[in-house]
Chains A and B, each alone.
Chain A
Amino acid sequence: AQTVTQSQPEMSVQEAETVTLSCTYDTSENNYYLFWYKQPPSRQMILVIRQEAYKQQNATENRFSVNFQKAAKSFSLKISDSQLGDTAMYFCAFMGPGANSKLTFGKGITLSVRP
């Protein structure tokens, strides 16, 4: 079974600085999908970034980028130029390739951006 581990429950960063959120996962699959979701105080889940395992290039979306290390089964999220609106819970998620694959989430990390 796939598992997703986010070992840091909370982090804090100064506005305009850079922060990295860690995520590791366990799977025997070769092709799969990884995601980072943001959950602000409104509790609406928002996709931040996604990565397909067959792609070697790290995904980037504006200020958000990932460091995908397939051999190490690591998928960290880097937020550059942190903004107050980045304050939220961040969840790492995994989906396998099979027809009956499920979407598995880590426990999440609470990120606070300080003014």
Chain B
Amino acid sequence: DGGITQSPKYLFRKEGQNVTLSCEQNLNHDAMYWYRQDPGQGLRLIYYSQIVNDFQKGDIAEGYSVSREKKESFPLTVTSAQKNPTAFYLCASSRAPGHLPNTEAFFGQGTRLTVV
């Protein structure tokens, strides 16, 4: 079955450590996104990528990094520079904008990151 997979579901990090969240999709989608969800804040965009080897900063990119070496994969690294990393992280993918119809995003099940 086609879908988008995030791992792990729960992740614990010590302060000062970098940690990488995995996101893989087999939907043949060009676009991929990373969002952070905090209570009362909705979904805030961290990074997005419309094509392999290219990505753009979203609204809250500071303290995060990404790579897009393969179409299927878009890992997110939460670095020690991120001051408040405890949150729920969602990865999504979609057809590239301009492809009508069916441009909606499909989401993974999310990763809950906790700093201990």
Contacts and interface: CB of A to CB of B under 8 A. Distances in A.
Interface stretch (A12-20, A42-50, A66-74, A80-88): A42-50
Contacts of B28: none
27 contacts: A9-B40, A33-B97, A43-B88, A44-B109, A44-B110, A45-B92, A45-B105, A45-B107, A47-B105, A47-B106, A50-B104, A52-B100, A52-B101, A91-B42, A91-B43, A95-B94, A95-B103, A97-B97, A97-B98, A99-B96, A99-B98, A100-B50, A101-B97, A103-B92, A104-B45, A105-B44, A107-B41
A16 B104 CA distance: 29
A105 B100 CA distance: 20
B50 to A, nearest CB: 6
Contacts of A40: none
Contact of A108 (B42, B90, B104): B42
A35 interface: yes
Given A52-B100, A95-B103, A97-B98, A45 B90 contact: yes
Could you tell me the dominant secondary structure of chain A's interface residues? loop
Interface of A: 6, 9, 33, 35, 43-45, 47, 50, 52, 91, 93, 95-108
